Amino acid sequence: MKRVLLAYMIYLLAIWIFFPFFYTEWNDDVSTYASIGHAVYFSRLPLLPLFLYVVWKNDKLQKIAAAMENRLPKLVATASYMLLFTTVYGIVQLPFRLAGYWNARQAQISVQNFWDWAGEYVLSLFLFYLAVTAVVLISQYLMKRFRKNWWILLWVLLVPSAIFFVYVQPMWIDPLYEDFYHLPDGELRTEIEQLTSEAGIPDATLLEVDKSAKTVTYNAYVTGLFGSARVVLYDTTVDGLAQDEILFIVAHEIGHYVLHHVYWGTAGFLVLGFVLLWVTKKLSDKLLAKRQISAHQLRAVPLFLLILSSLQFASEPVSLYVSREMERQADAYALEHAPDTEAGIHMFRNMQQVSKGDPNPWPLFEWLRSTHPSNQERIETIESYQENR
């Protein structure tokens, strides 16, 4: 275990030497904010699997889990153990979260005050605690009752979970963090309604979210299932971009909805979940047998989470590639349906200027991190479309 921690320390040192001092020299277009953002991201990338490995291998922590389970009722033991687990992990990742917050504040990307940021961080940990505790309790019950096929039943439960995150979260969880308002009447709303009507979603809910208290960046998104489309615009987008640029963003987001990317994403999540749970079952059976631990015991929780997080980590490049392809498809939809394609070029340039992100990351970093194509690639795509149409 000491060797693993030493390797991580060396990895951190290399990351924080490379990105702030060398990457900015070798990539003239990248800002200091973007390079430090890379350093923070890649510092955190292996953190969860590493944390879980330490918890799994540490005899004292294993004894604490066993003592809780022997002395307390099942519900209380699991809730108490997961509270300890969540709290410690929250403390472990806090330095990196603070580094990201500080970086955004220094670059004037974030305008959120520290206490508001800290309150959201605690709220996120609390919601994570509730979610992971519920999952562990359900998993333990299934593992004890259905020793061979618990993973199939757990996968079946992923279906309502996926619907919850896609359908319920935007309406019930997101408002805990942000204030949402109906987009006011006016020319912009009329133009957006025309786009949604042409796309076959005339009843889409048009919302504006108050982001200016936290950030200066521009964004928009569309959520919803079963005909419940919600088009959400950052207030910074409404206030900071020209109307044609906003309409290009909205057309792009409508493209996601019309092309059923939410459904494809949900299907991909379920397929991936099936594979991950099956592999987890196979690996955990062998590793738990060596320690003579039953799958439904608290001591097994770190192992299951370690296997799942490691497999998810390994599959992330594939997920990111699919995400970038969906973004390219949505861009193509916008080029066909936005009123002004030239506005897309201005919009991406304005977004780049405000966000200060990496406009053209190295392929390796795009492969490991990027959910979207680079702004440079997206601008070149629009220019190519204009030349060839």
Sheet holding 230-234, edge to edge: 180-182, 205-209, 230-234, 220-223
Structural element, H or E, at residue 63: helix 59-71
> Is residue 180 classed as helix, strand or coil in its secondary structure?
strand
Rounded to the nearest 5°, which phi and psi values hold at 234?
-60, 145
β-sheet bridge partners, residue 291: none
With beta carbons less than 8 A apart as the criterion, state whether 275 and 256 touch. no
Place of tokens 């800002």: 31
Instruction: Count Cα atoms within 13 angstroms, Cβ side, for 195.
Output: 31
Distance of alpha carbon 283 from alpha carbon 146, whole angstroms:
17
Q: Kindly name the residue from 69, 208, 245, 253 that is annotated as catalytic.
A: 253
Distance of alpha carbon 334 from alpha carbon 250, whole angstroms:
8
Distance of alpha carbon 223 from alpha carbon 312, whole angstroms:
24
Structural element, H or E, at residue 64: helix 59-71
Q: Residue type for 178, please? A: E
Taken in order 307, 289, 274, 165, the sign of the CA dihedral is negative
Residue 25 among the catalytic residues: no
With beta carbons less than 8 A apart as the criterion, state whether 253 and 233 touch. no
Place of tokens 């059976």: 285
Q: Would you name the residues annotated as active-site residues?
A: 253
